[in-house]
A = this chain, B = another copy of it.
């Protein structure tokens, strides 16, 4: 939030109440929110905000490194607050119902370091996405 203010100031941009509100809603939210979902929540507080502004603000947040857009299986782009290292997690996505689960596995993290070392690299970051299908009973949208 402060980081956004800073970035905006540093780049000759303007800190509007829409940006403030959208950022606030975004950071308060549990992550994985689409522009449409963000708009809905934003409009609870200011019904005049437009979808275009949400998109423009999310692009801004992405540019300052505060948000990361993801396109998993779904139609829409969802945005996630940037990870601060501690809170890192990976994703597992159901291709039928589109739900996204998060997971963290310490063993994977260790193996990654080992693999990197084996290839003579020092790891800076990584990305791991598992795609699958909910077993029948659990899936919210089994297609057949």
A126 cross-chain contacts in B, Cβ below 8 A: 128-131
Q: Decide: A115 and B103 in contact? CB cutoff 8 A.
A: yes
A36 interfacial contact with B, CB 8 Å: no
Contact size class for A?
Answer: 35 or more
C-alpha spacing A74/B125, complex, angstroms = 16
A111 interfacial contact with B, CB 8 Å: yes
A2 cross-chain contacts in B, Cβ below 8 A: none
Task: List 6 interface pairs A-B (beta carbons < 8 Å), by A numbering.
Answer: A68-B95, A70-B131, A105-B115, A116-B132, A120-B138, A126-B130
The 8 A-B residue pairs with the shortest CB-CB distance, nearest first, are: A121-B132, A71-B71, A123-B132, A120-B138, A126-B130, A128-B128, A101-B119, A127-B129
